[in-house]
Structure 1
Amino acid sequence: MQAAPSTLDHTVFKTSAIDFAQLAERGYVVVPNFLAPHYCQLLFDYAQNLAATDWQQAGIGRADQYTTNTAVRQDKIRWLQRDFAPERAYLDMMDGLRVQVNRELFMGLFDYECHLAHYPPGAFYRKHLDAFKGRSNRILTTVFYLNPHWQEADGGQLVMYDERGRVLETILPEAGKLVIFLSDVFMHEVLAGNRDRFSITGWYRHNTSINGVIDPTR
């Protein structure tokens, strides 16, 4: 497997493609071709070649309320760490985006956490919110897609809903596409797909640390 670079500079991802005014106005934005195809492929290859033991069954809830429920969520995840060059490269890139968002929208984003997500064929994630108002410091959700040559017939779409439960967007998980949305506003779900589906889901957060613990449980 070809190794991913340890850094991703501004020439391989396109903050200029992000419509920050649209993000501010409606609370979400879909950005095709955010990352150069070569780097998408490297990240896709990296995810595909991880061992089964590198993944864990995704769950819902936090701390003592954390549980796995495959009737709700069936993906497997791997939290990104700076110990591994491809993961560090992505984290560095998204930290650069955090700085840009703060510069453009004055959101006060403090840090970022993210995980790879692997949806085997048939796997789904039922409708949910990433954060509840007043109960989490997750502010902006990002979803970045890795699969090349993804078609409508492959399924696995991200469906976003408005506050009345109406469909706002049905988004095909095509390689290089980045979706950004307010974590505590938009209900969304992942439909079952017909192929192995890989993405990176993350959250920009405010700093609500207590005694050195970031985002403590409440």
Structure 2
Amino acid sequence: MPNFPSALADSGRTGEETLFARIAGDIRESGYSINPLALEPQLLQPLMQHVQAMAPDMFARAGTGRQRDHVLNDFVRRDEICWISGDSTAGAAWLDWAGRLRQFLNRELLLGLFSFESHFAHYGPGDFYRRHYDAFRGEANRMLSLVAYLNPHWQTGEGGELVLYRDGEDQEGIRVLPTPGTLVAFLSEEFPHEVLPAERDRYSVAGWFRLNTSVSGRVDPPR
């Protein structure tokens, strides 16, 4: 896991900054951060309302890989997604919030995060995403993964947990119930994870902070 600089002292932080500092401290210490019920209502509620109001045809089946390597594989994952462009008020607020988190983490941890991409995700009853990494080691594209859950009144026993594995050898993992406002962040190359099937529709917003790896006229991340 990368070495990060020590944290700055807390000096009158806002509620948002306190959450950001907790995430930074967790990433520094363990590489991941799990924060139940963390998103403030003024951000969470519009996201929940927006995703519930989205027409089904706004979502598309999710695949694996990017661009030419993108394929659909029902054995690996069965969710559907809608990329967030910032056209909606809720989406724009989420991207702005993630932008402030990016600036905070760059200042505290010197990560060099360059951009953020994000989508809404919908898992129907029985849908899943098998164990995988969000980035391949050494590619240095997706640096930090971020997930927030948008499910009202989610109960233990309804499934749909994120299972975050501490490393490639871990077979038990840490289970995270997709309760509303719960926020998870982790280093994309370090932690395999999966989404277990749920008994009802499951919604989240997922995103990735990326590095600028543009070389020889190849723009990455693409604009």
* TM-score after normalising by structure 2: 0.87
Aligned position for 1:25: 29
> After superposition, what is the alpha-carbon deviation per residue over 1:50-108, rounded to whole angstroms, capped at 9, x for unaligned?
11221100000112211111111011100000222221111011000101111111111
Structure 2: segments with no counterpart, 5+ residues:
1-12
* 1:14 paired to 2:16: yes
**Alpha carbons 2:122, 2:201 under 8 Å: kept:** yes
User: 2:106 and 2:154 mapped to 1: Cα distance?
Assistant: 32
Q: Which residue of 2 aligns with 1:102?
A: 106
- Report the AA paired with residue 28 of structure 1: Y
Residue of structure 1 in register with 2:78 after alignment? 74
In 1: Cα distance, 2:58 partner to 2:23 partner: 35
1:41, 1:148 within 8 Å by CA — same for their partners in 2? no
Matches within 5 A, 1:28-67: 28-67=32-71
Q: Judge conservation of contact 2:121–2:206 (CA < 8 Å) in 1.
A: yes
**Which residues in structure 2 correspond to 1:115-154 (within 5 Å)?**
115-154=119-158
Q: Decide whether the 8 Å contact of 1:15 with 1:34 is kept in 2.
A: no
Q: Distance in 2 between matches of 1:39 and 1:196?
A: 21
Bigger mean CA offset, 205-214 vs 154-163: 205-214
Question: Which residue matches 1:208?
Answer: 213
Q: SS in structure 2 opposite 1:104?
A: helix
**What amino acid is aligned across from residue 36 of structure 2 in structure 1?**
P
For residues 72 and 89 of structure 1, what CA distance do their matches in structure 2 show? Answer: 31
The whole-number CA distance in structure 2 between the counterparts of 1:20 and 1:173 is: 22
Deviations 1:151-179 (A, max 9, x none): 11111000011221233310001111110
What's the counterpart of residue 194 of structure 2? 189
Q: Classify the secondary structure of the residue corresponding to 2:157.
A: helix
1:162 to 2:169 alignment: no
Letter in 2 for 1:159: V
Moved over 4 A (4+): none
> Secondary structure, in 3 states, of the residue corresponding to 1:78?
strand
**Quick check: 2:43–2:93 contact (8 Å CA) kept in 1?**
no
1:175 correspondence with 2:170: no
Q: CA RMSD in A?
A: 1.7
State the 1:215 CA deviation: 3.0
Amino acid at match of 2:202: R
Q: 2:23 touches 2:185 (CA, 8 Å); kept in 1?
A: no
CA contact (8 A) 2:85 2:91 kept: yes
Partner SS, residue 14 of structure 1: helix
Query: In the alignment, what sits opposite 1:5?
Result: none
Q: After TM superposition, give the deviation of residue 213 of structure 1 in Å.
A: 2.0
Alpha-carbon distance in 1 for matches of 2:94, 2:162: 21
Task: Label 1:21 to 1:38 Cα distance change in 2 as closer, same or farther (>3 A).
Answer: closer
